[in-house]
Amino acid sequence: MTFAKRIPVFLVRLLALGGTVTAIVVMITSHDSAQVLGMTFEAKYNNSPTFKYFVVMNAIASGYSIIVLFFPSKNSLARILLVTDTIMTLLLDSSISACLALGQLGKKGNSHAGWLPICGQVPKFCDHVGGALIAGFAATVLYFILVLYSFHNVLNLYSLKA
């Protein structure tokens, strides 16, 4: 791959790394407390396994991005990059989907189960989680673009051999 073709891929991977790191930092720093009926409760990201999963998946994607950024790009590795980019995209997508479900529950509650919304009591926490999800979603979209690019490279690689 020529140097001119590697620059956009490098920039997209760098932006994806920035998105995952931002999502981690914003999620980890999300905390707020509220008093309800004379009792104080604290909302933190590590109170929920879903938010922990989100942080772990973004950390894995960040580590993968760092490795791939400094890995020499060769045509023989195109299929491996396609598979690993796809796996990273799916892991990030699954973590965001789980967090969006939990975020919706925190924002609206569930009247059928008797769960009350909590975002009215801890708005700072909910805003931080929302920001982390936006950064994570942006990283996921960038990884999807990388999957499309990797797929394009694999198709070109095999069309040249045929």
| Residue pair 52/98 in contact by the 8 Å Cβ criterion | no
Distance of CA 136 to the CA centre of its chain: 3
Give the residue among 58, 71, 75 at the shortest CA–CA distance from 138: 58
The mean predicted confidence, pLDDT, of the chain is: 86
- The pair of structure tokens assigned to 47 is 């109170």
**Is 104 a domain residue?**
yes
Q: What is the pLDDT of residues 38-83, one digit of tens each?
A: 778 788 888 889 999 999 999 999 999 999 888 776 666 778 888 9
pLDDT of residue 129: 92
CB under 8 A, 24+ apart: contacts of 28-35: 28/55, 29/128, 30/124, 30/125, 30/128, 30/129, 30/132, 31/124, 31/125, 31/128, 32/122, 32/123, 32/124, 32/125, 32/126, 32/128, 33/122, 34/121, 34/122
Q: Which residue has the tokens 């620059």?
A: 7
Q: What is the pLDDT of residues 111-153, one digit of tens each?
A: 888 788 888 888 898 899 999 999 999 999 999 998 998 888 7
State which amino acid sits at residue 60: I
**Is 12 a domain residue?**
yes
**Is 35 a domain residue?**
no
- Rounded Cα distance between 45 and 129, Å, is 8
Tally of structural domains, the chain: 1
pLDDT at 1 over 60: no
Domain that holds residue 63: 3-29+47-161
Q: Which has more pLDDT, 29 or 153?
A: 29
